[in-house]
Amino acid sequence: MVLDARTTSFRSALLEWFREHARDYPWRHERTPYRTAIAEIMLRRTRADQVVPVYEGFVREYPTLGDAARGDPDTIRERLKPLGLEWRADNAVMFVREAHARYGDELPAESQAVKELPGAGEYVSAAVACFAGGSPEPLIDTNVVRVLGRVFGLRTDGEARRRREMRELAAAALDPEQPAEYHYALLDLAAKVCSPRKPLCQDCPVATAVPCSYRAQARAKSDPSTGQANWSPG
C-alpha cells in the first residue's frame, strides 16, 4: 500500500474513533489565539487533567490577553505554581506582556507571529495556528512522534520530531479540512491507547485500517505454539 493510501486510511479510522472517544477539555471549546496559547504553555510536560483547574482559574481571572498583560507578574506566577516548573510561569508572564505590546488585545492566529514571542516556540505557535486559526499545520511532539512512528515504522528515539521523514509524515497524515479535530484525535489516541509503556494494541482503532509496524513486531515475538504474546511492548 502506498503512503498516500495508508495515511488516508489512518486519518479516517482515527477521526471515526475520535467521534466517540474524544476527551473533553475547556481549551477545546474556547479556541481564541490567546486562550489556546495559554493552554499550550500550561500543558508542557504536564498531564491535561492537572492543567484543567489551573487553566479555568487563570482565564476566569484573566479572560483576555489585555487582562493578563496588566496582571501582576507575581500573582500570575502564583496561579501557575500548582503546575510546577518555574520557568513555565516566567514564560507565561513574558509571553502575555510581549504579545500585548505587539498586538494589543487580539493575538494573531498565525504561527510566525506567535513564534516570535518569548515563551512560545514552534509547537505553541503551530497549535495556535491550528486550533484557533484552523490552519493545517502539523503539530509534532513526543505523543505525535510515538503514534506516527509506531504505526508507520519510523524511528522514535532521540530528536525524532526534527527528522525530515517524521516531519513529512506528520504533514502528509493530517486532515487539511479538519486539522484541529485530527490533532486532538491523535493526542487522545496517544493518551488512551498508544501509551508510552504497555500500549493497548488490541484496542487500537487504526490498526485494523492500517498495518501497524509496532503491532507487527509485537506479534512476531508472540509464542508461536499458543498464539499468545509473551512479550509486553514497552
Would you kindly state where each structural domain of the chain is located, as residue ranges? 3-23+138-220, 32-132
Residue 181 half-sphere exposure toward CB, CA atoms < 13 A: 15
> pTM of whole model > 0.85?
yes
The number of beta carbons lying within 10 Å of the beta carbon of residue 162 is: 11
Is 141 noted as a catalytic residue in this protein? yes
Contacts of 75 (CB under 8 A, 6+ apart): none
Rounded Cα–Cα distance for residues 36 and 110 (Å): 12
Q: Which CATH class, in words, describes the domain spanning 3-23+138-220? A: mainly alpha
Rounded Cα–Cα distance for residues 16 and 56 (Å): 29
191: its cell numbers: 493518551
Is 123 noted as a catalytic residue in this protein? yes
Which one of 67, 106, 122, 123 is the catalytic residue? 123
- Check whether domain 32-132 has CATH 3.30.1360.70, yes or no: no
Q: Cα 37 from chain centroid?
A: 12
Q: What is the pLDDT along the chain (234 residues), one digit of tens a residue?
A: 456 889 999 999 999 999 999 999 999 998 999 999 999 999 998 999 999 999 999 999 999 999 999 999 999 999 999 998 888 899 999 999 999 999 999 999 999 999 999 999 999 999 999 999 999 999 999 999 999 999 999 999 989 999 999 999 999 999 999 999 999 999 999 999 999 999 999 999 998 889 888 888 877 776 554 444 433 333
Q: Collapse the DSSP code of 31 into the 3-class scheme (helix H, G, I; strand E, B; otherwise coil) and give the result.
A: coil
User: Do the first three CATH levels of 3-23+138-220 and 32-132 match, i.e. the same topology?
Assistant: no
Which one of 40, 137, 175, 188 is the catalytic residue? 40
Rounded Cα–Cα distance for residues 33 and 113 (Å): 11
**DSSP E strands, 25-131:** none
Candidates 27, 56, 38; CA nearest to 94 is: 38
Rounded Cα–Cα distance for residues 223 and 234 (Å): 17
